[in-house]
Amino acid sequence: MKTVMVTGGAGFIGSNFIHYLLRVEPDVQVINLDALTYAGSLENLVDVSSNPRYTFVQGDICDAVFVDDLLRQYQVDTVVHFAAESHVDRSILGPRQFVETNVMGTFTLLDAVRKYWIQEKGLPLDDVRFHHVSTDEVFGSLSAGEAAWTEESSYAPNSPYAASKASSDHLVRSYGHTFGLPYTLTNCSNNYGPFQFPEKLIPLIILNAIEGKPLPVYGDGQQIRDWLHVEDHCEAIHLVLKKGKTGSTYNIGGENQPANLTIVETICDILDEVLTDAQNKPHKNLINFVTDRPGHDRRYDMDIHKINTELGWKPRRTLAQGLLDTVNWYLSHPDWVAVIRQKQEYKGWMDANYKSR
């Protein structure tokens, strides 16, 4: 890797990956391509903005001419593709944007690198890589006791978001098989940690609890997810880029299976301990069960045997430690929270999604 283009690098996982990459790869140049839609913010990257190895470029991954020019201008040899619409609830209210960004955006990127790397031979094919970041949601939903998903599990997406990500995964594989594009693909479980947009479960619960607001829990709260700290995810992606086999897919998970209600209650317990003068203790009293979302998947579980045996990766953080660190991060970054919450798109979304429940 000499020049890495990170798409969606101003978002939650993308910005964490840029921090990680600049830290562990002292000679790499990083190009951050982001459209700065509602979930992307340069506030996430303030501390690297003056780094001479970091360049921010605002643009749309669906703009083929723009992407073509960008690849050539910076002689990009590695693309790490995070850019995506990623919130299931938003995909239910407005699925079109998910198809445009996640499917057509991925297609545009793939076709751009195909032309530059393969047709024009702009760089040696042995020196390039397209890495696609996907989700466990493409596999559908598991019942109680059903075996965890492996890399060979069938796709069965249940939401417009999951279907759009499944489509993009298939496009990546097709470009590898048909055109010989060097790619790797990872399917990760639910991420959490610093810089996560506060519409997602964990930051939403943390911030509402701090302010004494209701803590919305969908349905009975017994939906099960596998939670992965974003730093562990970044380490896994970096390892796949360095040592993963071209044309391979790797599952990345946190090796835990709590119910959503357990996550909410754990955060409440942490806040009870760290906020000694809080007026809302016990914070569990703020829990409010609300109408479930349509088609809510019941259980996810990721088998990480392949990445563990082939590359030696496993998550470093326990869920308990990761949640404590995350709570402390949000408590110590009120300025970041204030800036993000001022976005009109955030305010409108929270009203649209929760007031009717």
Q: Which residues contact 16 (CB under 8 A, 6 or more apart)?
A: 193, 194, 195, 230, 231, 233, 234
| Tokens 């519409």 belong to residue | 199
DSSP 8: T
CA distance 150 to 136: 10
From the candidates 77, 85, 111, 136, which is the catalytic residue? 136
Task: Residue 160: name the closest of 76, 211, 90 by CA.
Answer: 90
C-alpha to C-alpha distances, 258 to 261, 265, 274, 290, 313, nearest whole angstrom: 8, 11, 22, 19, 22
Q: Which residues contact 189 (CB under 8 A, 6 or more apart)?
A: 136, 225, 226, 227, 228, 252, 253, 254, 300, 302
From the candidates 137, 169, 226, 265, which is the catalytic residue? 137
Bridge partners of 249, per DSSP, are 185
Residue 259: both structure tokens together = 């119910």
CA distance 226 to 302: 7
For the question of residue 161 being annotated catalytic, the response is yes
Q: Which residues contact 305 (CB under 8 A, 6 or more apart)?
A: 150
CA distance 235 to 230: 9
Task: Residue 161: name the closest of 295, 301, 260, 14 by CA.
Answer: 295
Element (H, E) at 251: strand 248-252
From the candidates 38, 54, 116, 161, which is the catalytic residue? 161
CA distance 283 to 269: 7
Answer for the pair 208, 29: CB distance below 8 angstroms, yes or no. Answer: no
Active site residues: 136-137, 161
